[in-house]
Amino acid sequence: MTPRQRLVAKIGAGAVAMVLPVVLLYEGTVHSTYKDPINKITACTGHTGPELRMGQTFTKEQCETMLYGDLLKHADALNCIKTPLADNQKAAFLSFAFNVGNGAFCKSTLVRKANAGDMPGACNELLRWTLAGNKELPGLVRRRKAEYELCVRQPDAVAELGRDR
């Protein structure tokens, strides 16, 4: 089974279809290693890891494999939420966990509110996470707004937000 098929099996085709445009839009895809805004070596679509070194290049297929593998790894964070999630909420929270990491996601007030049954409050928490390296980044503000819109509304709102860039 491919990483994409495993991701679909884990969170559902609807959630995968909704999370991909958000992650692709806000992470971007670069077929070589680069330093992200907080100076972390990154490749492809937001992939980080100890195997990366500056100067590496990757094919489209390698980048897709990394992306689905990373999404699958971060989909584990959704297990921290014990209440049922709609596909749009899974997608919003997976995009968020992909960006902040599973540990930060699982320890967040967002997860606490979701587990208490306060899904509107959980979605609102997304808007608070706009800092990287103690600086507010305009790209994170846009991403969190897109994740929030996905969390509380319909996926069409994300396409509208993408046009604001």
Give the distance between the most distant pair of CA atoms in the chain. Answer: 47
pLDDT above 90: percentage of residues in the chain = 90
DSSP secondary structure string for all residues of 100-137: H-HHHHHTSHHHHHHHTT-HHHHHHHGGG--EETTEE-
pLDDT number for residue 156: 52
Element (H, E) at 41: strand 41-44
**Cα distance between residue 4 and residue 156, in whole Å:** 23
pLDDT number for residue 160: 55
pLDDT above 70: percentage of residues in the chain = 93
- Asked if 65 contacts 6 with a C-beta cutoff of 8 angstroms, the reply is no
Number of other CB atoms surrounding residue 110 within 10 Å: 28
Q: What is the pTM of this model?
A: 0.91
pLDDT of 21-61, one tens digit each?
A: 999 999 999 999 999 988 999 999 999 999 999 999 999 99
Quickly count helices (H) and strands (E) in the chain. 9, 4
Question: What average pLDDT is seen over the chain?
Answer: 93
- Asked if 114 contacts 126 with a C-beta cutoff of 8 angstroms, the reply is no
State in Å, rounded, how far the first CA of the chain is from the last one: 36
How long, in residues, is the chain?
165
Q: Which of 46, 40, 52 is nearest to 95 (CA)?
A: 46
Q: Which of 97, 107, 43 is nearest to 73 (CA)?
A: 97
* Amino acid sitting at position 147: E
Instruction: List the catalytic residues.
Output: 27, 36
pLDDT of 92-102, one tens digit each?
A: 999 999 999 99
